[in-house]
Amino acid sequence: MEYYEDLEPGSEREIGRHFVSREEIIRFAEQWDPQPFHLDDAAAEASVFGTLTASSCHIYSISALIFSKNPSRLRAAAMMGTEIRFPAPLRPEDTLTLIECCLEKRRSRSRRGYGVVKGRSTLRNQEGRDVCVMDTTYLVECRDPDGDD
C-alpha cells in the first residue's frame, strides 16, 4: 500500500492500460448515457466527431477501473473534487494509457492522519492524444499520523 509520505510532487508514472471495444462503448451508453451518437453509427456520422464516441462517464469510469487494477494501491480515503477536460474523443478500438502525476500535497488541517493531495491523471490514446485530463483533490492516509512532512 502507498501512503501520503510515498507521493513525490512532480513525478509521473504509468498506471495501466485499457482497450475499448465498440461493444463496451455501446453497452455502457445503453445503461447510463443512451444518446444516439454513443449508440448508433448513422447518428454518430452526423455528429460533431463523425464516428461513434464513448460517453464521458464511460471514460471517467475507465480511469477508475485502471486505478483499481493497479497493484501498487494508494491509500486514498475520499475524493474531494475533480476538474475534468476531454480534449479528444474516445473511439472504438482505442487503447488508453493512464498516467498519473502528483501536483502538490499537504497534511490535512482538519483530519489528523490524512493528507490533501492534488494529482493529475491523464488518459492518453495510442496516437499520443489526451482523451481525458483530470485534476483531482483527494484525502490520502498518512503512514505516520503525527509526521510533519
Give the binding-site size for a copy of itself (rule: CB under 8 A): 33
**DSSP E strand stretches across the chain:** 12-19, 76-85, 95-107, 114-124, 130-141
79 lines the binding site for a copy of itself (CB under 8 A): yes
Q: Which 21-40 residues touch a copy of itself, going by CB under 8 A?
A: 31-35
Helix (H) or strand (E) holding 56, with range, is helix 56-69
14 lines the binding site for a copy of itself (CB under 8 A): no
68 lines the binding site for a copy of itself (CB under 8 A): yes
Q: Give dist(CA 24, CA 16) in Å, integer.
A: 18
In the complex with a copy of itself, the residue whose CB is nearer, 34 or 147, is: 34
84 lines the binding site for a copy of itself (CB under 8 A): yes
108 lines the binding site for a copy of itself (CB under 8 A): no
Q: Give dist(CA 96, CA 131) in Å, integer.
A: 8
- Closest alpha carbon to 66 in 30, 34, 95: 95
Q: Give dist(CA 54, CA 132) in Å, integer.
A: 12
50 lines the binding site for a copy of itself (CB under 8 A): no
Binding site for a copy of itself (CB under 8 A): 31-35, 47-49, 55-57, 60-65, 67-68, 77-86, 89, 111, 114, 139
